[in-house]
Amino acid sequence: MQRYKLLIEYDGSGFVGWQRQINGLGVQQCMEEAVQKFCGEDVTVFSAGRTDTGVHALGQVAHFDIEKDSDANTVRRALNHHLKDVAISILSTDEVDQEFHSRFSAQQRAYVYRIISRRAPLTVDRGRAWWIPVELDATAMHEASQLLLGKHDFSTFRAAECQADGPLKTLDAIRVEKDGNEISIHVRAKSFLYHQVRNFAGSLKNVGEGRWTIDEFKAAFEAADRTKGGPTAPPEGLYFVEVVY
């Protein structure tokens, strides 16, 4: 039995998220069907993190085990062949030992949230970024974001459906960058609460628009109450970009 580690890119627009579900097509389902077509084996493909409906990935990591005698390059080419009709690409494949687990071995996960701040509607980036038709103050957004660093009760940014044991998480890094009309929010932590990054983006957008001062952002954060936070940003701006092992 050989375990393979995969680095995966996908456009989340046409999927109900990573996880196989009965109400639509999940990335996991496509992956498992591709493996079955390749080697005739029914497997479970485990990911480093479950992305939601509409969320994209540039650096998702997954693994599975098969009995077929093969090699990493053959597996990558075969899976890409069987995935050619969906927006999923296997960027690389490695043989790993049975101690490796894409989820439980992960030490950090990184996401980027993209905002396009301009008056004109999006065309090329439609479905791939959050369009905000007013200018945002990225400097103020970055200053506010630094309040989130470290270990905190993140209840203000936790979705009601979150199944985590509690609201305490440690945020290792966050920065807000501006490049022309694009503002990107980069975050890194071992794990995140459900919708945590999208709720960061929604609340920081309030700061960027001038609706909240940095002190008001701080007060909302310290309230540890989701009803005090900003809106949940739409999924199309969120990208799962890296896993550190």
Domain residue ranges in the chain:
2-96, 108-244
Fold for the domain defined by 108-244: Alpha-Beta Plaits (3.30.70)
Question: Which stretches of the chain are assigned E, i.e. beta strand?
Answer: 2-10, 46-47, 56-66, 88-96, 108-117, 130-132, 150-153, 168-179, 182-189, 238-244
Q: Which two tokens stand for residue 92?
A: 């690389």
Q: Give the pLDDT confidence score for residue 160 in this predicted structure.
A: 85
Four-way CATH pick for 2-96: 3.40.50.1370, 3.40.1500.10, 3.50.30.60, 3.30.70.580: 3.30.70.580
How many whole angstroms separate alpha carbon 34 and alpha carbon 36? 5
How many whole angstroms separate alpha carbon 245 and alpha carbon 240? 15
Q: Which two tokens stand for residue 228?
A: 């005090």
What value does the CA radius of gyration of the chain take, rounded to a whole number of Å? Answer: 19
**pTM score:** 0.95
How many whole angstroms separate alpha carbon 98 and alpha carbon 39? 20
How many whole angstroms separate alpha carbon 179 and alpha carbon 210? 20
How many whole angstroms separate alpha carbon 242 and alpha carbon 245? 10
> How confident is the chain (245 residues) per 10-residue block, as mean pLDDT?
97 93 94 96 95 96 96 97 97 97 97 97 96 97 98 94 90 98 98 96 98 97 95 97 97
Q: Give the pLDDT confidence score for residue 162 in this predicted structure.
A: 85
Question: How many CB atoms are located within 10 Å of the residue 79 CB?
Answer: 25
How many whole angstroms separate alpha carbon 106 and alpha carbon 171? 15
The one-character DSSP state at 52 is: B
The catalytic residues are 52
Q: Do domains 2-96 and 108-244 have the same CATH topology?
A: yes
